[in-house]
Amino acid sequence: MTTTHLIAVDSDACGPFRSAKVFIKLLRGISAWSKLRGARQVLVHVTTGTAIKQTDRLMRAGGGACLGGSYVVAV
């Protein structure tokens, strides 16, 4: 399992639509990196507490399943 503590995208610079696309691509890149190293899951910690509904929607769009305060993404 790969643990990711932070995936940050500057939404002020990119705007909400492009930020979401960049986030999903970064998540896919982390998944690809993890797969090469034999991991079967990526654990993404969500600790900011801001935009919870939007974060949930974004994580689920990236293939994540909620696990407590984090999300698990199958590789």
pLDDT higher for 36 or 11? 36
pLDDT the model gives residue 61: 86
Mean per-residue pLDDT over the chain, rounded: 89
Cα–Cα distance, 46 to 38 (Å, whole number) = 24
Domain ranges, ordered by start, for the chain: 2-74
pLDDT of 18 > 90? The answer is: yes
Query: pLDDT grade, residue 46 (50/70/90)?
Result: confident
> Under DSSP, is residue 45 helix (H, G, I), strand (E, B) or coil?
strand
* 11: Cβ contacts below 8 Å, ≥ 6 apart: 19
pTM for the model stands at: 0.83
Q: Give the tokens for residue 25.
A: 């691509």
Which pLDDT tens digit goes with each residue over 20-32? 899 899 999 999 9
